[in-house]
């Protein structure tokens, strides 16, 4: 068997420098001295006769040659930790770190709650963003898994469908449209809409539908969070675009209004890159996400 060119320590250095964007913070994260991390990077690039990082002042940014390999490096490091834990007789998740993203807090907090209850020693970092922003973060290796909304899963991902949801308008409770309860696509053009950011999966699916139907909605507000969209709708600034499951039936401020026919339906998925799907933390997250909701 040919001896590997790079050791696990060197791979950990590359991953840490890419993730933290600098020598100092990477050194703190993996418990090495700054000179040691700097020497490792220089030795690796010298041995490979190529640059793996673009230097921007004190920042180190992984270039295309390294960036495409980061998910595989992260998977290899995670599997190494699992092998070590198994050999030491600790097969359960007694530690570790899991970075996830989510686009819709209403659909994910139950899964996260169950994960924390089952694996309290695993530290979780969860960030909220639009579905397409999270896909980009996943492919860069910034997160290990993401809960996102899409029409269909993108190729190259391990996807678990958790639920399907109808896209609706969010109207102020008590308004004429809320009392009416439904609207046709042909009427959308007369409405002022409040939309999530461009990276939102719901927004992109809605925009694609109105384009296909030849409808041009009046412009309104583009807001960066679901909560700010709900507040704007409640204040009478326009109508929001949401999934039915995001709007509680007993919400006293906003109500769901059906659109169609045809109805627009989306899936909410847990996704990960195949390289990371079988690591212990991600595998445990998938197992809990597949359980029926209580």
Report residue 146's pLDDT band, with 50, 70 and 90 as the boundaries: very high
- CATH 1.10.10.10 matches 8-68: yes
> Pick the residue with more confidence: 96 or 167?
167
* pLDDT score of 2: 52
Integer Cα distance of 186 and 129 in angstroms: 30
Identical fold, 8-68 and 165-265: no
CA pair distance 274, 279, nearest whole angstrom? 10
Neighbours of 113 (CB within 10 A): 11
For the four alpha carbons of 26, 28, 33 and 35, in that order, the dihedral sign comes to positive
**Cis (ω within 30 of 0) for the bond into 261?**
yes
β pairing state of 123-128 and 97-102: parallel
In CATH, which of 3.40.50.1470, 3.40.190.10, 3.20.20.10, 3.30.70.2190 is domain 165-265? 3.40.190.10
Domain 74-162+268-289 -> CATH class: alpha beta
* CA 54 to chain CA centroid, nearest Å: 26
Give the confidence band of 85 by pLDDT, cuts at 50, 70, 90. Answer: low
What's the chain's average pLDDT?
Answer: 88
E-strand stretches of 113-236: 123-128, 145-150, 158-172, 182-183, 192-195, 218-222
Looking at per-residue pLDDT, the higher value among 96 and 282 belongs to 282
In whole angstroms, give the CA distance from residue 127 to residue 199. 14
Give strand pairing partners of 166. 265
Note the pLDDT of residue 89.
Answer: 43
The full set of domain ranges for the chain reads: 8-68, 74-162+268-289, 165-265
Alpha-carbon gap, residue 135 to 6, rounded angstroms: 29
Rounded to two decimals, the pTM is 0.72
- pLDDT reported for residue 32: 84
pLDDT in tens, 179-218: 999 999 999 988 889 988 888 999 999 999 999 999 887 6
């Amino acid at each position: 068997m040919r001896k590997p060119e790079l050791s696990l320590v060197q791979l950990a250095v590359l991953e840490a420098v890419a993730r933290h964007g600098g020598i100092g913070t990477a050194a703190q994260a993996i418990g090495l001295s700054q000179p040691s991390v700097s020497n490792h990077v220089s030795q690796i690039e010298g041995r490979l006769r190529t640059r793996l990082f673009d230097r921007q002042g004190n920042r180190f940014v992984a270039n295309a040659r390294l960036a495409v390999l980061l998910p595989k490096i992260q998977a290899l490091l995670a599997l190494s930790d699992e092998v070590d834990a198994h050999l030491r007789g600790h097969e359960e998740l007694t530690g570790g770190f899991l970075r996830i993203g989510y686009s819709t807090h209403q659909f994910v907090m139950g899964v996260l709650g169950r994960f924390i209850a089952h694996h309290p020693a695993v530290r979780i970092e969860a960030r909220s963003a639009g579905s397409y922003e999270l896909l980009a973060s996943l492919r860069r290796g910034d997160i290990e898994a993401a809960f996102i909304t899409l029409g269909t899963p993108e190729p190259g991902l391990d996807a678990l469908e958790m639920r399907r949801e109808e896209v609706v308008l969010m109207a102020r409770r008590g308004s004429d449209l809320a009392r009416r309860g439904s609207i046709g696509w042909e009427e959308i053009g007369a409405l002022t809409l409040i939309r999530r950011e461009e990276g939102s999966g719901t927004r992109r699916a809605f925009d694609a539908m109105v384009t296909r139907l030849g409808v041009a909605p009046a412009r309104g507000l583009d807001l960066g969070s679901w909560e700010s969209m709900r507040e704007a709708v409640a204040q009478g600034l326009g109508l929001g675009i949401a999934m039915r499951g995001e709007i509680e039936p007993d919400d006293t401020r906003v109500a769901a209004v059906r659109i169609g026919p045809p109805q627009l339906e989306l899936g909410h998925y847990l996704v990960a890159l195949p390289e990371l799907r079988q690591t212990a933390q991600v595998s445990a997250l998938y197992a809990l996400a597949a359980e029926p909701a209580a």
